[in-house]
Amino acid sequence: MTEDAFYARLTDVFNDTFLTDMYYGGGSLNNINAGTPDWPNVAKYFDKMNPMPDDQKQRIHRAVAREPLDLINYIVRNDRPFTEILTADYTVFTPDSAFIYGVAARFEDPNDPTELKPGVLKVTRNGKEMTYPHAGVLTSPMWLNRFPTTPTNRNRHRARKVYDQFLATDVLALASQAIDPDAGAAFANPTRDDATCAQCHITIDPIAGAFQMFDKNNQEFLLEKPTWYPEMFAPGYQFELMPTDQSATGVQWLAQKVANDPRFSLSATYKMYQALTGEEPARYPTNAAAPDYMQQLAAWETQDTFMRAVAAEFVADDHNLKTIIVKLILSPYYRGVNVANEPSEEHKAELAHVGTGRLSTPELLAKKVMATTGVRWGGTGDLLNGEYKLLYGGIDSNAITQRLTSINQLMASVAQRMAVEVSCSATAFDFTKPVEERLLFPLVEATDSPDFQESKIKANIQHLHLRMLGEDLAIDDPEIERTYDLYRETWLAGAQNIADTIEGKGSGRAGRRRTPTPARPCPTSRS
Amino acid sequence: MDRRSFLKIAAGTGLAVALPRHARAALPPYKGPFYVMISARGGWDPVYLCDPKPKGTFNRHYDYDPADPTAVGDIHYADIPVPANLVTDPLSLPYMMKNADFFAKYASKMVVINGLNMATNNHDRGVVTIWSGRGDGNYPNFAALVAATKAPEHPLAFISGGGYSGTGNLIPVTRLNSVASFRKLAEPNRVNPADPNNTTTYLHQDTFDRIAAAQQERLAAFKAKQNLPKIEAAAGQLYLARGNLDLLSSVALPDTLIDLPNEMGDLERMAQQTQLAMAAFTAGLAVGVNLEIGGFDTHANHDTVQVRQLAKLNWGIDYVMSQAAMAGIDSNLVVMVGSDFGRGKGYNGMDAGSGKDHWPVSSAMFLSGNPGLIGGGGRVIGATTEAEQLPIGIDPDTLELDESEDGVVLTAPHVHLALRQLAGVAESPAAKKFGIITDMLPLFG
């Protein structure tokens, strides 16, 4: 958990929740430029008389967009308490975002767009400098814009997101009763005085009030003197009122309360469980009439007990997120690969959550392709993060925010096309390298034939099963034999095709190139 | 592998069973009816569409007199002009359709449901409710439910271009977004499917087929040895997904997708999704599709933004119907148009830039080129009160308005139960698994 790839994955994981990558492709600067002079260098970004170079603009808007996710990475990379994603009285800047926000920060390499330094935002109101009341992600300009408020919403949307994202609580589920449109008609202030409305608002509105220092239209704009609505439930947390002298920094008060809530550690555990296994934690079974209800209940109780134990260890280890990851990876929920005997239907319910069998996200598959073959599908860009991202079940963090978790036919076809294009380049490219540098074919040469080098070929197939599929098989395993048969049959058919001049003999363009671009064809056939 | 072995492998995936190419004699094309679900995302304002009110608290934009209504037959509509200044690019104007034009063209092919109590003011819950009939569970979108019942083995049975894409794990969701990409995926071994004169493949087709067969054999062997239900199900899903890949190439896609002015990007996406869906319908590979256009959450600038989005929605619906007619399937098509909830009751401010907030009372519209499919066109069921924009109950037998205590207030479960009846899936195992308990109303005959 020190490699950059780990933190790239962490970015994907938390974006699935915060969805702030909606701005990564563009738009982040527009959101902090809503007609306010808070960040003077923003004007330079938009200056048409002295246009900024496109590459600089791209670095800037990406840095601004990634700020909340970078903050999380910074906290985890530096083994800081994970509670700081809420309680940090700072945020992090790259050289580009520091420039745009006018933050004085010292970078070891000002040209490194990935270097992160902590700092604080400052704004000026009526000639007086004010420090932003940083509260981790909650005060990120991107988070505030991604989950906006309106004059009538009054931060209730944000309150709901606090529950959902940090407290593992769906406040909508609290109101299982349907709303009667006529409800509240007899009350001048129904959200407080009508029990039907108040059952939810007493939970939501106090947290909404903690965001009162932000403007109701200009999302990240810090108000000089916040005011709140006396007809709403007063700002607070659970049944504790927020001190009135905290109104200008109430979000920091809220952050401390949430971070100390036992549900916060459970929420972090749930999130990492979903990231690692691809499924949400088990839900408490509610259908007592189900024939396997007792087994479902047992499965839930077992997992719930485990989750709570992991959360407790997370807290005991000073809220180190890596502790959760280690505990989950060591558990049967991640490591389970099989059970010896076929379980009964009832036992299946007990085992429902064991093992992963997850569908890789497009981002994960792209990383796996690169890690195993040394080749990126699509050359410098990656088709799994571009053309095929949504088709393979990914999200755009904007209109499409739910990942597909079951494979469909088009997704299977994406995998097939990836396989033929990448294998075409990766194999030919691998043979251009010295044996000791090869990733795929360290034990054979391209000229080896099954007639004379069967054992070498099988040994390489064994190597490929381990490298590509993570299967550590004995040389006489039936799966090695199956793959060898496929190879031999194909080799013989290919030899015949070459003899019949149906196929070419060379390894194509990819075999002559040091940096393959798999989107282009290599050895081709004409049907 | 024989059919019995395959079915054994497929069992327990949680998904409907599809047959791989060597196990099916011939997969008959699905011939309809086809279902299109159009989501006006964000919470639309029926007062500005199909549930007009006199000028006043709820309407400050158009004239409407209940005694002398703007109407086509029994369907009343809000006669809102669509001024040119709603858009910045004059080229965008043709992509907005006035209510008057829309209802003149489609009222006879339409059923309008007004006074629909969505029972929520929350976007997420509203979206799930209007498209599945239940707001508090993982219920499938109606189109997914029909697809899972009628043609689960078809590779594009349920396509989602936005909206609520929950399937209750009955069937996979498919996304389509590009002609070029689809062509590549329909023929994954072909180097350049866009060029009809270039049949070059990456691998010799025999090799490609040999590898595909070996993959399936390996997966089947893996699954046969696997006893953990979650992993076994995942292996089964992969096996099924690989089953009918060869059918994708039968989809006749348009050469290019429609190109609208930049400010019409949301409508362009909906229109392009429409083109792709029609191609999948025509090929007999799809049963239902979700379409979406957002921008209806008009807490501010209601009189411009809501009006503009509704005019775009009208054009989008017209595009669906027109494309279906061109494809020759409009008489075998059912379109449902709905939203998270309604807006109101009145404005949240007095100034021109004020908006309308969430209001649980909404409407829904159903269209078909063959109105018989929806029980006859030109009908309005339900209403809202003029003074409070509250739902008025109906007689459960005659569907006439019934303001007495016996009147039934229409809800999403009523609509979905009737829809299930319309589609002939009400008694299917999938429908029973995701049961809806409410009164059956003859909304669609």
Domain spans in chain A, listed from the N-terminal domain onward: 4-131, 147-260, 266-350, 367-512
pLDDT at residue A239 in the model: 86
Contacts of residue A51, defined as CB under 8 A and 6 or more positions apart, other chains included, come to none
Would you call B162 and A399 a contact, using CB atoms and an 8 Å cutoff? yes
Instruction: Count H helices and E strands in chain B, helices first.
Output: 11, 14
Is B199 an interface residue toward A (CB < 8 Å)?
A: yes
The chain-wide mean pLDDT, for chain A, equals: 90
- Distance from A402 to chain B by nearest Cα, in Å? 9
pLDDT tens, residue by residue, A166-199: 999 988 776 555 666 776 667 778 788 888 778 8
pLDDT tens, residue by residue, A58-115: 999 999 999 999 999 999 999 999 999 999 999 999 999 999 999 989 999 999 999 9
Are the CB atoms for B1 and B220 separated by under 8 Å? yes
- Distance from A114 to chain B by nearest Cα, in Å? 32
Confidence of residue A507 (pLDDT cuts 50, 70, 90): low
Indicate the range of A38-42, A212-216, A248-252, B267-271 predicted with least confidence: A38-42
Cite the DSSP H helix spans in A187-331: 190-193, 195-209, 250-260, 262-277, 293-316, 321-329
Residue reference for tokens 């060898």:
A484
State how far the Cα of B153 lies from the Cα of B6, in Å rounded to an integer.
Answer: 13
For chain A, positions 342-361, list CB contacts with chain B under 8 A: 342-343, 348, 351-359
For A526, the closest of B156, B178, B200 (CB atoms) is: B200
SS3 at position A480 = helix
Indicate the range of A430-439, B17-26, B408-417 predicted with least confidence: B17-26
Indicate the range of A312-326, A373-387, B366-380 predicted with least confidence: A373-387
In degrees, to the nearest 5, what angle opens at C-alpha A30 toward C-alphas A26 and A35?
175
Identify any residues that bridge with A222 across adjacent strands, giving them in sequence order. A214
Are the CB atoms for A429 and A516 separated by under 8 Å? yes
- Three-state helix/strand/coil letters over B57-114: CCCCCCCCCCCCCCEECCEECCCCCCCHHHCCCHHHHHHCCCHHHHHHHHHHHEEEEE
For chain A, positions 89-128, list CB contacts with chain B under 8 A: none
pLDDT at residue B350 in the model: 87
Backbone angles phi, psi at A22, to 5 degrees: -55, -30
Residue B12 has pLDDT above 80, yes or no: no
Q: How many residues does chain B have?
A: 445
- β-pair type (B34-40, B288-293): parallel
Backbone angles phi, psi at A109, to 5 degrees: -135, 100
- Distance from B109 to chain A by nearest Cα, in Å? 30
Contacts B207 to A, Cβ<8 Å: 490, 493-494, 525
State how far the Cα of A64 lies from the Cα of A96, in Å rounded to an integer.
Answer: 8
Q: Quote ipTM for the complex.
A: 0.87
pLDDT at residue A171 in the model: 84
pLDDT at residue A179 in the model: 66
Residue B393 has pLDDT above 90, yes or no: yes
Report which of residues A17 and B5 the model is more confident about: A17
Confidence of residue A512 (pLDDT cuts 50, 70, 90): very low
For B201, the closest of A337, A358, A524 (CB atoms) is: A524
Is the peptide bond preceding residue A133 cis, with omega within 30 degrees of 0? Answer: no
Is B185 an interface residue toward A (CB < 8 Å)?
A: yes
For A338, the closest of B155, B175, B227 (CB atoms) is: B227
CATH of B30-216+261-346+369-433, one of 3.40.50, 3.30.160, 3.40.720, 3.30.460: 3.40.720
Report which of residues B123 and A267 the model is more confident about: A267
Tokens of A56: 């600089």
> Mean pLDDT, to the nearest integer, of A148-157?
89
Residue A519 has pLDDT above 70, yes or no: no
For chain A, positions 286-345, list CB contacts with chain B under 8 A: 336-343
Q: Own/partner pairs for B137-140, CB < 8 Å, 24+ apart?
A: B137/B434, B138/B166, B138/B168, B138/B169, B139/B166, B139/B168, B139/B434, B140/B166, B140/B167, B140/B168, B140/B170, B140/B171, B140/B430, B140/B434
State how far the Cα of A257 lies from the Cα of A240, in Å rounded to an integer.
Answer: 10
> Mean pLDDT, to the nearest integer, of A255-259?
98
Confidence of residue A35 (pLDDT cuts 50, 70, 90): low
List the one residue out of A217, A210, A258 whose CA is nearest residue A235: A210
Residue B432 has pLDDT above 70, yes or no: yes
For chain B, positions 364-423, list CB contacts with chain A under 8 A: 388, 390-391
For chain A, positions 395-414, list CB contacts with chain B under 8 A: 399-400, 402, 404, 406-414
Would you call B120 and A527 a contact, using CB atoms and an 8 Å cutoff? no
Indicate the range of A112-116, A210-214, A376-380, A516-520 predicted with least confidence: A516-520
pLDDT at residue B9 in the model: 46
Would you call B229 and A348 a contact, using CB atoms and an 8 Å cutoff? yes
Contacts of residue B208, defined as CB under 8 A and 6 or more positions apart, other chains included, come to A420, B189, B201, B202
pLDDT at residue A511 in the model: 42
pLDDT at residue B419 in the model: 98
The rounded percent of chain B whose pLDDT value lies above 70 is 94
Would you call B119 and A151 a contact, using CB atoms and an 8 Å cutoff? no
Is B212 an interface residue toward A (CB < 8 Å)?
A: yes
Burial label for A424, CB within 10 Å (0-12, 13-18, 19+), is buried
For A391, the closest of B175, B269, B348 (CB atoms) is: B175
Task: Give kind and range of the element (H or E) at residue A77.
Answer: helix A67-77
State how far the Cα of B420 lies from the Cα of B423, in Å rounded to an integer.
Answer: 5
SS3 at position B384 = strand
pLDDT tens, residue by residue, A220-236: 999 999 989 999 999 99
pLDDT at residue A501 in the model: 78
Nearest CA in chain A to B168: A406
pLDDT tens, residue by residue, A268-324: 999 999 999 998 999 888 778 778 889 999 999 999 999 999 999 999 999 999 999
Fill in the DSSP letter of residue B162: S
Domain limits, chain B: 30-216+261-346+369-433
pLDDT at residue A404 in the model: 87
* Sign of the alpha-carbon torsion through B50, B54, B58, B63: positive
Residue of A199, A408, A468, A483 best to disrupt the B interface, most CBs of B under 10 A: A408
Confidence of residue A34 (pLDDT cuts 50, 70, 90): low
Contacts B124 to A, Cβ<8 Å: 172
List the one residue out of A48, A75, A45 whose CA is nearest residue A63: A45
Query: How many interchain CB pairs under 8 A, A with B?
Result: 205
